[in-house]
Amino acid sequence: MIRLRLFLHSLGPIGVISIVILIVLLGSSLLAPWLAPYDPNQIRMSERLAPISGEHWLGTDTLGRDVFSRLLYGGRVSIMLALAVTVATMLIGLIIGTLAGYFGGWLDDVTQAGIHIFQGLPGLSFMIAIAGTLGPGVESMFIALVVTSWADFSRVVRGEVMKIREESYIEGIRAIGGNHMYTLIRYVIPNMIGPIIVLFTVRIGRVILSIASLSFLGLGLQPPTPDWGVMVNDARPFFRSYFHLILAPGLCIALISFAINCIGDALRDALDTKTEKAGWLS
Amino acid sequence: MKWMEKEAVVMEPLLSIEQLTVTFHTPKGKVKAVDGASLTLHQGQIVGLIGETGSGKSVLGLSIPGLLPGTAEVSGAIRFKGQDLLILQKDCLRKLRGTEIAFVPQNPATSLNPVMRIGRQITEAIKAPFSRKQKRAIAARLLEELNMPKPSDTLQQYPFQLSGGMKQRVLAAIGAAGKPSLLIADEPTKGLDALVRDQVVGLIRRVATHTGAAILVITHDLYVARSLCDAIGVMYAGEVVESGSTEQLFAQPKHPYTSGLMRSMPGKGMIPIPGVSPSLMEEHRGCKFQSRCSQRLGECEWKAPDLYALQDQDHKVRCFLHDSSRGREQGVPERLVATAEA
Amino acid sequence: MLYVVRRLASTIPILIGISLLAFLLSVISPGDPAVEALSMSGISEPTEQEIEIKREELGLHESLPVQYGRWLVKAVQGDLGVSYMTKESVSGEIMRRLPVTLSISLLSVLFAVGLGVPFGMLMALKKNSWLDEAGRFLALTLVSIPGFWLAISLITLFSEKLGWLPTSGYGTWQHLVMPAMVLACGTCAILMRLTRAALMEALNQNYILTARAKGLREPSILSFHALRNSLIPLITVIGTYFGSILGGSVIVEVIFALPGIGMFAMDAIFRRDYPVIQGYVVFTGVVYVMFNLLVDLSYAWINPQVKLGVKLK
Amino acid sequence: MSKAFQSGWLRQRKHEAVKHVSFSIGKGETLGLIGESGCGKSTLSRLMVKLLPFDQGKLFFEDTDITKYTMKQLFPLRTKMQIIFQHPDSALHPRQTILQSLVEPLLLHQITDRKQAIERVMDLLAPVGLNEEILSRYPHQVSGGQIQRVVIARALTLSPRFIVLDEPTSMLDVSVQAQVIDVLKTIQKQFDLTYLFISHDLDLVAHVSDRIAVMCKGEIVELDQSKKVLNEPVHPYSQKLVNAFRGYQTNR
Amino acid sequence: APEPVASQKANELASNTTEVNPEEVVLAAPRDLAPGTQDAYYTSIILYVWEPLLTAGEDGEPAPKLAKSWQMSDDGREWTFTLQENVLFHDGEKLNADAVIANFKRYEQVSPKSSPFYTLDSKKSYPGLKEIVKVDEHTFTLKFENPQPTLLYAMVNFSSPIYSPKNFDEKGDFNRLPQGTGPFKLMAHEKDQYALLEAFDGYYGEKAKSKKIRVRVIPDPDTRLSALKSGEIMGVMDLGAIPPSLAKELLKDDRFEISTAKSTISHYLHPNGKKAPFNSPAMRKAVSMMIDREQLVQELYLGYPTATANLLNVTSPFYKDFAIEHNVDEAKKLAAEALGGKREKIDLIVPTYGLNRYPYKAQAEWLQAVLSELNLEVEIRILDGAAFKDAQAKGEYHLALATQGLPNADPYTIFTNYLASDGSSNKSYSLGYKSERVDALLGQAKNTLAMEERRKLYDELQAISVEELPTIPLFNDASLIGNNKKISGYQATIYGTTLPQLEWAK
Ligand SMILES: Nc1ncnc2c1ncn2[C@@H]1O[C@H](COP(=O)(O)OP(=O)(O)OP(=O)(O)O)[C@@H](O)[C@H]1O
Ligand SMILES: Nc1ncnc2c1ncn2[C@@H]1O[C@H](COP(=O)(O)OP(=O)(O)OP(=O)(O)O)[C@@H](O)[C@H]1O
Ligand SMILES: [Mg+2]
Ligand SMILES: [Mg+2]
């Protein structure tokens, strides 16, 4: 309860706005089939690049599709994908990082080498290569994003675990007879939940931006999927005359990333037990 | 040393704390860490502040040089050489720090900057307009006076290269560097083994003799307090419940808490005071010790006792048992059964 | 010195791992380097016979382990081979592009550090004030803006509308301003948050109390006592960030027409130019390793414990 | 003697935190361990409950050689020997309530079901001087003295025969310390426990121990009846230690 | 104080970047037009640094350049060329038969040599070349084993570049900046940054009007547009210089103009004829009839290209116009028959290189919508160039959006590639086309010397291609370039621009 109060406290006014943004964006994405006034993929060549009007709230795009409808649908794939990627990365990172950090020894050495190798590989280029190898599509983006980000996650988790391993409550449970499995599941993992949640939110934000970047290079989500990153890219030739075409989806990306990061920030403050301490005197 | 004490009595006190109250504003509510504490300190005196964990000793110590964090609200008066430090300008107070009032924090392990050489950390505290070289010489001499082996080598070292006792000496040197007239040492012996503790006690004595400064030693080690101090103040839950000369206090502790504390010492039978100390967050009526007190009176429950002076003007006690106005010996009418054991 | 050499030696398996991974990834990608080397996308395509000859010439007939082994043997001797596409030496190509990438990287680090750190310090000092809140907002905004979106907006504003800065290309410092800004903004935000957090933690330490008790002024406490102690997380971030942009940033290079390493690598990936991909990956690997080393060494510089420990070894 | 500990020639790490140490503790006895900071007391205590592997030597518990026991083999023994660490403030799972921490050993060893476990914990509260109300709190919400008592209670849930107490009162001031020692002595009588008691405070050690061992740089330099060690120490190091203590204790 | 001085200097510099330097015209291209010594040509032909023996005329027919006239022997095995006189290379050397022979020797040495522009392969351009004989100072003869009736078509542009004989080493590699005969000298170049041209004073023809031209590399089309708008560059050139959607944007600003010309590039929709449903000619026909090429060209390409049903590019002198059949009802009927009334899932692959140059993504989405009416459920996959080719070669696709440059003004090559049973494109794109009649016609064309007869054969081949649709032609592209009205004389040509005529507008 204190945590929740602290969380709300550390959210601040910006945080509250962020939560509202997140709810609106997620909600409208989920409810897109009911909210959207048009089929997002319905092409109307006679109405190409229509301006903003009562009929088309955000005008139409180069194929006469209703931009507002596309915008409503535009978060679905990215957000779901970002979520899936982050969950997968988190699981992989959690398993690898925990085992390496907890047991140390050769297991840690091997993991460390693996982490260094994957971190030493150039991120976006690597992602391009994987996406190219596996062919375009959601699945290969998923794999590319997971492969390029598990190492970061594992490293952070490993560091956390090594810190926790030194705490005396770990020795305490061993003295009572807890085996490794028990210690890991009941003691190690729950105690890094804070940093993990924070990392999780930061990652989601970053993955959403990565998806947009890949789409920018033509390797992201395949047409005609309505997607914010793709929409920004598609609007580039027209944005001088139709600024809203690039502003609306770009703003959506920025806002959702902003909101998620902000909430992660507040979570960090709330979950950080240090903030509860009094300062020098404690 | 005797003559100094005598002179001190005559003179105006160097430091007098009157009705000091420190309240912290935290997200969970107000914490009244110091609650109307009063204390006086004379020139050249070593005064000890004892009491259990969390009773507000450190907060009191920090409030003198104005080092409390921003969340603290301070009221009352702290008169140092006639000046009220609480109403002094921030910058004037800063100038007093180090030169007039020095503070040696508790926990030597973390109180030195880990990435700065010892030499720099000491010379920083020397305010007089000397050259760097001169300052270093002063620092080396200070360390030497404090029995540091190879003082000039130490200046080149980093804190992690020193043992706990050596760090304590460095901290003392920093405190003494500005030739202050008041030195406040917070828990200088906490966590040290007997040998090192012995050294540290000697060290503080040496600082006192060398600089002639008055020293306020905050500690919860009664042995240290007894062997080092001229006078002692006892704190409980933010209040100074008893103060007086060391001999008097140890020989005849007047406050029930003080005597309980004495009895808790391993050498004195180790009889614990039952119960736990009160929360600092709640408002209190009556005496704060009443729930654990075996000599509780009826009025203790609703009336807070004042600090009453005993015949010996230096000895003061915050307990109705020693309220001279109500007649010293007759004053135990309704002794209640101690309930704190439950 | 010995320590540095040993550290470097220990990174060799990592570099080999990186190159092996890159090699595997290249060869399993669909497409034939010989075809790519001979054709011009969408204009002309080679015949089978030509492709055969080319494959022979490029040594693509050999088994994969042999191809990799041959590459490795040469690479160890410092020869990264010749690009299938341009026929020029890979190391030469990378070196030619290095100044471009290096200069934007440097400038963007300058931006990120120059803005992020002081701002973070200010936020730590005035914590919970409106300034802190504004900084937080700024930081969150900066991490959330998609880079390409910012790039487009900057070009439109500063080049098209105002005419202050050139849109693209490489040459004067003006050419570097916008790309560096785009690259810097995410990291600037991270540095802001990090500086604030690290400084606040440092300011809570006991030695700060000691410093205050000496009567030092706030600014000198901040810079001599607190900052130095909070440098380690900052340097880690700056190091990895600098290392990663030295590997090239494709999008910024494409948009701002900067002939840097990232664009070169992306071309190579698209055209299955194995020697270039390999060379590039090894280059970024070396940069990564080097920066890790530098970061470690700077820890030593900051943390005397490590420094003296190193000397002892 | 039905129960005896014996360990010999223990070694830890390169700088030999513990060197060739041999001693035994009899049933129901309290052995005090003193020595300057960093001389290897805590390391020795960990070795004794097999929380650290050792390089040399043998360890007997109730006449059984447990030197080479694996984690699985040790599991049943864990109920019989317990350790209380030097720094109690981080000895409990920070995200578990006090109650959860207290019932955990019982559930882990499947001695009772949850309901019975809670009952048993309730029975233990009074002896250690704890109040029911703190059971639902988290470790950071209770004071150092209370945590210290919780840790003791937790060690007692399994009804051990032997407890290592590594400076159990280092974080406490005298009044609370007296409370805790009181508890320890009471339960020792009640359950016929064996203690290894580590402390810097010679008075305290003298107060609780039957015999005292003096450690210096990883070695036990003297081991004898408490009074003897404190009143007529033989080894020069012991003399130094005792004198220093007496010195400042009595007069200035 | 030094500060004002520094900022003043900065101001100067900053204004320099956007202010026009009258000495130099800056243009931009999407790729590096001067890749350097390792390239087969050093620079693209469109920089006018080097010149070929023969070039393509306005009508697409071979036209004289450095060779001013020629003669074929009756048996078609010997070709004699006469060179322009008074032609100087940039390094001062004279153009003569020896210089040409030296160049031919180089072709042989380095062939095949790849280049982003065109692979230099003398075996392909001069098959069975036996020897080159110097007749006199300005005349030489090429002697072949077999008759070469279409040699001239093969020699055009990139197949006959001529450089100073002192310009290459014994291995045939360039030893310094290219020393051609063109109106511009390459003064300097920085890889992937710019190429700096200077008018060549010793040019034999009409001299270039601008003293200096700098061609910068700006890969991103939108950035090119921004650079144009900010006045940093005066014009853009090369393939995809300005995509149609940006052309419209540019024209909204009356400081700029667009120039177009026919282009040798054709756009197709390649069907995979090796598997269902496009192994059925009826299905291919249905798709072809379903597509409203006019709408495509008008809406997505702003009407610059021309819709076509013909496989052969419009710039070929043998091009024949065929009526475009657009009949939705008929198409649906055909498709329903071919598919048996079922809905079929098909893949449409799109190459990444098409995304920047053309509105390929919109085109693919549009096609998706259009073909959906034929009961084809189209899934779009964007693939990078190599993966795209791989998918085509392995037949792992149903439809592919693709372009083709006319390899040779003589359509023999493209017909063979696409229509012959063993044609290279036919195979590598998995078109699966096989027609005995076509194979026979091609065999016949190979040995036909008389142009009129060839034309007849080619006409029939075109007719067959329109009827049987081995691939579905969509439209002939247009070269599109844009420029600031501050310069004039900058026109698009079939391949390149009128760079020598470019000058500051009066
Ligand atoms: N910054 C702060 N914010 C809130 N509460 C504080 C703060 N600093 C101290 N306190 C509270 O004030 C009370 C007194 O603390 P203080 O450190 O003075 O005790 P102490 O007597 O020095 O104890 P110890 O012997 O452990 O040093 C404690 O309950 C502590 O939690
Ligand atoms: N995990 C470890 N790794 C390396 N050295 C260690 C480790 N644990 C302890 N040591 C070292 O072993 C020696 C003995 O440490 P130990 O903690 O046993 O001392 P102690 O007698 O308990 O001291 P204290 O009275 O301060 O608790 C010390 O020098 C310490 O630095
Ligand atoms: Mg304190
Ligand atoms: Mg210990």
pLDDT in tens, E446-462: 888 788 888 999 999 99
Q: What is the pLDDT of residue D160?
A: 87
Helix, strand, coil share (%) of chain C residues, nearest 5: 80, 0, 20
Of ligand 2's atoms, which has the minimum distance to the CA of residue D218?
Answer: 14
Closest in A9, A280, A281 to B27, CB measured? A9
On the question of pLDDT at B187 being above 60, the answer is: yes
Distance of CA E187 to the CA centre of its chain: 26
CA of B115 to the centre of ligand 1 (A): 27
Question: Residue with structure tokens 């130099």?
Answer: E24
Q: Among B227-236, C28-37, E164-173, E413-422, which is the least confidently predicted range?
A: C28-37
Element (H, E) at B317: strand B316-317
Q: Among B258-262, D243-247, E397-401, which is the least confidently predicted range?
A: D243-247
Q: Is D51 in the pocket of ligand 2 (CB under 6 A)?
A: no
Question: Residue with structure tokens 């082994």?
Answer: C69
Q: What is the pLDDT of residue D5?
A: 56
- Domains in chain A (CATH in brackets) are 21-28+60-273 (1.10.3720.10)
Closest in B27, B59, B62 to A6, CB measured? B27
Alpha helices (H) along E197-352: 221-230, 244-251, 281-290, 293-295, 328-339
Confidence of residue E288 (pLDDT cuts 50, 70, 90): very high
Confidence of residue E376 (pLDDT cuts 50, 70, 90): very high
Q: What is the pLDDT of residue A275?
A: 42
On the question of pLDDT at E19 being above 70, the answer is: no
CB atoms within 10 A of CB C223: 11
Q: Could you tell me which residue, C202 or E345, shows the higher pLDDT? A: E345
Helix, strand, coil share (%) of chain A residues, nearest 5: 75, 0, 20
Q: Is C26 on the interface with A (CB under 8 A)?
A: yes
Per DSSP, chain D holds a count of helices (H) and strands (E) of: 9, 9
Element (H, E) at E309: none
Q: What is the pLDDT of residue A281?
A: 39
Q: Among A204-213, E135-144, E282-291, which is the least confidently predicted range?
A: A204-213
On the question of pLDDT at A13 being above 90, the answer is: no
Most confident listed range (A3-17, C77-91, D81-95, E392-406): E392-406
Strand order in the sheet with E129-136: E67-72, E78-83, E139-144, E129-136
Percentage of chain D surpassing pLDDT 70? 91
The two structure tokens encoding residue E147:
């008759």
Rounded to the nearest integer, the mean pLDDT of chain B is 81
Distance CA E467, CA C264 (A): 44
On the question of pLDDT at D18 being above 80, the answer is: no
Rounded to the nearest integer, the mean pLDDT of chain A is 83
Task: Measure in Å the smallest separation between the Cα of B104 and chain C Cα atoms.
Answer: 7
Most confident listed range (A47-56, D198-207, E464-473): E464-473
Of ligand 1's atoms, which has the minimum distance to the CA of residue B34?
Answer: 14
Classify residue E342 as exposed, middle or buried by CB count within 10 Å of its CB (0-12, 13-18, 19+).
Answer: exposed
Report CB contact under 8 Å: B62, A281. Answer: yes
pLDDT in tens, B87-136: 888 888 888 888 889 898 877 778 888 888 899 999 988 877 888 888 89
Q: What is the pLDDT of residue E6?
A: 40
Q: What is the pLDDT of residue E267?
A: 94
Cα end-to-end span (Å), chain D: 46
Element (H, E) at E493: strand E492-493
Classify residue C5 as exposed, middle or buried by CB count within 10 Å of its CB (0-12, 13-18, 19+).
Answer: exposed
Confidence of residue D206 (pLDDT cuts 50, 70, 90): confident
Question: Is E in contact with C (3 or more beta carbon pairs below 8 Å)?
Answer: yes
Distance CA A15, CA A26 (A): 16
pLDDT in tens, A134-170: 777 888 889 888 988 888 889 888 888 888 888 888 8
The two structure tokens encoding residue E291:
């597509």
Average pLDDT over residues A257-277: 71
pLDDT in tens, E202-235: 999 899 999 999 999 999 898 999 999 999 999 9
Average pLDDT over residues E174-189: 93
Q: What is the dihedral sign for C-alpha D109, D113, D118, D121?
A: negative
Tell me the one-letter amino acid at C246.
L
Average pLDDT over residues D118-134: 82
Q: What is the pLDDT of residue A278?
A: 36
On the question of pLDDT at D8 being above 70, the answer is: no
Q: Among A199-213, A268-282, C31-45, E95-109, which is the least confidently predicted range?
A: A268-282
On the question of pLDDT at D232 being above 90, the answer is: no
Tell me the one-letter amino acid at B268.
K
pLDDT in tens, E430-442: 999 999 999 999 9
Q: What is the pLDDT of residue D37?
A: 75
Distance CA A220, CA E176 (A): 43
Buried b (16+ CB within 10 A) or exposed e, D158-189: bebbbbbbbbbbbbbbbbbbbbbbbbbeebbe
Report DSSP state, residue B150: S
Contacts 24+ apart (CB under 8 A), E59-65: E59/E317, E60/E315, E60/E316, E60/E317, E60/E319, E60/E409, E60/E494, E61/E317, E61/E409, E62/E152, E62/E153, E62/E155, E62/E156, E62/E409
Distance CA B339, CA B121 (A): 52
Nearest CA-CA partner of A276 in C130, D138, D131: D138
**Phi/psi at B171 (nearest 5 deg)?**
-60, -40
Q: Among A1-5, C269-273, E22-26, E306-310, which is the least confidently predicted range?
A: A1-5
On the question of pLDDT at A2 being above 70, the answer is: no
Confidence of residue D247 (pLDDT cuts 50, 70, 90): low
The two structure tokens encoding residue E305:
């290209």
Residues of B in contact with D178 (CB under 8 A): 263-266, 270-273
Residues of A in contact with C249 (CB under 8 A): 124
Distance CA C84, CA C81 (A): 9
On the question of pLDDT at D7 being above 70, the answer is: no
What parts of chain C have a pLDDT lower than 70? 1-3, 41-44, 305-313
Q: Could you tell me which residue, C49 or E350, shows the higher pLDDT? A: E350
Question: Chain A residue closest to C290 (CA)?
Answer: A120
Q: Do B243 and B233 meet the contact criterion of CB atoms below 8 Å apart?
A: yes
Q: Among C125-129, E61-65, E199-203, which is the least confidently predicted range?
A: C125-129
Element (H, E) at E11: helix E2-18
Q: What is the pLDDT of residue E181?
A: 94
The 3-state DSSP class for residue E450 equals coil
Cβ contacts of D220 within 8 Å, gap of 6 or more: D21, D22, D23, D213, D214
Tell me the one-letter amino acid at D223.
L
Q: What is the pLDDT of residue E142?
A: 93
Report CB contact under 8 Å: C263, E117. Answer: no
pLDDT in tens, E295-342: 999 988 989 999 999 999 998 889 999 999 999 999 999 999 888 888
Average pLDDT over residues B63-86: 86
Rounded to two decimals, the pTM is 0.82
Distance CA A204, CA A78 (A): 10
Q: Phi-psi category of B150—alpha, beta or left, where left has phi over 0 and alpha has psi -120 to 50? A: left
On the question of pLDDT at B274 being above 90, the answer is: no
Q: Is C57 on the interface with E (CB under 8 A)?
A: no
Q: Is A204 on the interface with C (CB under 8 A)?
A: no
On the question of pLDDT at E463 being above 90, the answer is: yes
pLDDT in tens, A215-226: 777 777 888 888
Q: What is the pLDDT of residue E26?
A: 94
On the question of pLDDT at A108 being above 70, the answer is: yes
Confidence of residue A209 (pLDDT cuts 50, 70, 90): confident
Confidence of residue A131 (pLDDT cuts 50, 70, 90): confident
Q: What is the pLDDT of residue D249?
A: 58
Q: Do D38 and D200 meet the contact criterion of CB atoms below 8 Å apart?
A: no
Distance CA C121, CA C113 (A): 11
The 3-state DSSP class for residue D209 equals coil
Buried b (16+ CB within 10 A) or exposed e, B257-273: bbbbbbbbbbbeebebb
Q: Is D114 in the pocket of ligand 2 (CB under 6 A)?
A: no
Sort strands B15-26 and B182-186 into parallel, antiparallel or unpaired.
Answer: unpaired
Q: Is C210 on the interface with A (CB under 8 A)?
A: no
Percentage of chain D surpassing pLDDT 90? 4
Distance CA D91, CA E308 (A): 82
Q: What is the pLDDT of residue E208?
A: 92
The two structure tokens encoding residue B188:
């200088």
Report CB contact under 8 Å: C265, A262. Answer: no
Q: What is the pLDDT of residue B335?
A: 40
Which residues on neighbouring strands pair with residue E8, listed in sequence order?
Answer: none
Closest in D75, D85, D92 to A177, CB measured? D75
Sort strands D211-216 and D30-35 into parallel, antiparallel or unpaired.
Answer: parallel
Cβ contacts of E133 within 8 Å, gap of 6 or more: E140, E141, E143
Distance CA A260, CA E196 (A): 49
Q: Among A84-88, C300-304, D227-231, E165-169, which is the least confidently predicted range?
A: C300-304
Q: Could you tell me which residue, C109 or B209, shows the higher pLDDT? A: C109
Q: What is the pLDDT of residue E20?
A: 59
Question: Residue with structure tokens 């036909």?
Answer: E448
Residues of B in contact with C207 (CB under 8 A): 110-114
Cβ contacts of E149 within 8 Å, gap of 6 or more: E72, E76, E448, E449, E451, E454
